Structure formats: C-alpha cells, structure tokens
Amino acid sequence: MDLWNLPTLTLAKKLLGMELVHENQEGITSGIIVETEAYLGPEDRAAHSYGNRRTARTEVMFHHAGTIYTYFIYGMHVCFNIVSGPLDKPEAILIRAIQPVKGIELMKKRRIGVKKEVQLTNGPGKLSKSMGFTLEHSGQKMNDGGISIQERLEIHPYEIASGPRIGIQYAEEAVHFPYRFWIKNNPYVSR
C-alpha cells in the first residue's frame, strides 16, 4: 500500500480519521484514530530505537513500514504502533487514542468495570486492551491478517493540532519535539 511510503510525520497526521480494525475469534472491534505520536529512530532520544539500538524488542522497528510493533510497558500495558519510514530506518507511530466504532460491547467485555464509552480507548494502554492487541501481534503486517486500516473521515490540516509527546521526560532535547498529533476538539483524545 502506497500509504506506508509517506514520511513518518506525514503519515502520523494522515492516520488521523482512519479506521483501525481488529477481527479475531472473539469478534470485530474498530475505531477512528484521533491521536498519534511519531518516533523518529536514531536521532530521536525518546524512541526505543534511539542511536539505532537494535534488540529483540526493537527489531521490528527496522522492518518494512506497515509492520505492527507492540510492546509491554509499566508491567501491565500493551502499546500499539505501526512501523513507518524506509526499510532499516527504525521509525514508528504510536496510536494513542481512537473513537470506538464497531464492537463496543466486546470492548466493554475486555475491560470489565469500564462504563463510559470514552474511557474505553482514550489512551494507548486502554485502546490496546479494548481492541485485543497483544505482544503476539508484534511483527505482523497491517492489512494482512486480523488487523487492518482504511480511509474513513477526511481530516483537513486546520483540524489537526500538535504538541509535545507524553511520558518521555527523560528524552532531554527531544522532550519538546511537537510529534504528537490529534484531531482538535475531539472528545476521545487522551488526557
């Protein structure tokens, strides 16, 4: 797909308004992407792949754009990313929030106790749990298995806001890079 050839920062904005879908034996869940963060590999101190650090975990970041990168964080959460950029350039886009579309009942089943729809997917750990994303998905390809993405809403540039990324206080000069993008005034954005 041509989409994956876009530069990472462009793709991070382009993904806003697209529908992310996951189908497995439990059923279908999906949501419109409303918030993303770009991680630009070697030069980006906030990225797992800073300085081309290549380990068992970050290996998939070096793969083709459109590869799925999931990882476990803080002892309890899975984060879902899509690899981007040229082959062997370890860049990725973290999906931080979506607006639920399909399978809202299934999402609630996966997250017992959550009542409000907005709470289902307004954060990277939350959407991963609601959508059923696990470490097993790391290394799989988008649109080539249970996980796919498709055009939905057209988001104009003036509807997109940007700002510093969340949770990367250790990243020194990269702390303030405006690599977080979201749809203005959308109630499903995190925080």
| Contact status: 4 vs DNA (CB under 7 A) | no
| Contact status: 182 vs DNA (CB under 7 A) | no
C-alpha of 98 from chain center? 9
Phi-psi region of 113 (alpha: psi -120 to 50; beta: other; left: phi over 0): left
Measured from the CB of residue 83, what is the shortest distance to DNA in angstroms? 10
Two structure tokens written together for 36: 């993303």
90 to 119: interface string for DNA, x by CB under 7 A: --x-x----------------x-xx----x
C-alpha of 37 from chain center? 7
C-alpha of 139 from chain center? 14
Tell me the residue type at 36: T
Q: Maximum distance among all alpha carbons in the chain?
A: 44
Two structure tokens written together for 6: 């876009």
| Contact status: 13 vs DNA (CB under 7 A) | no
Element (H, E) at 124: helix 124-131
Per CB under 7 A, which region of 5-13, 143-151, 165-173, 175-183 contacts DNA?
Answer: 165-173
**158/168 with CB nearer DNA:** 168
Q: Which of 104, 107, 18 is nearest to 66 (CA)?
A: 18
Alpha-carbon distances of 156 from 94, 101, 152, rounded to whole Å: 21, 21, 13
Tell me the residue type at 32: I
Q: Which of residues 45-74 bind DNA (CB under 7 A)?
A: 46-49, 53, 55-58, 61, 69, 71-74
121 to 160: interface string for DNA, x by CB under 7 A: --xxxxx-------x-------------------------
Measured from the CB of residue 135, what is the shortest distance to DNA in angstroms? 6
| Binding residue for DNA, selected from 25, 157, 170, 185, defined by CB under 7 A | 170
Measured from the CB of residue 156, what is the shortest distance to DNA in angstroms? 26
- In the complex, which residues of this chain contact DNA (CB under 7 A)? 37, 39, 46-49, 53, 55-58, 61, 69, 71-77, 79, 81, 92, 94, 111, 113-114, 119, 123-127, 135, 165-168, 170, 190
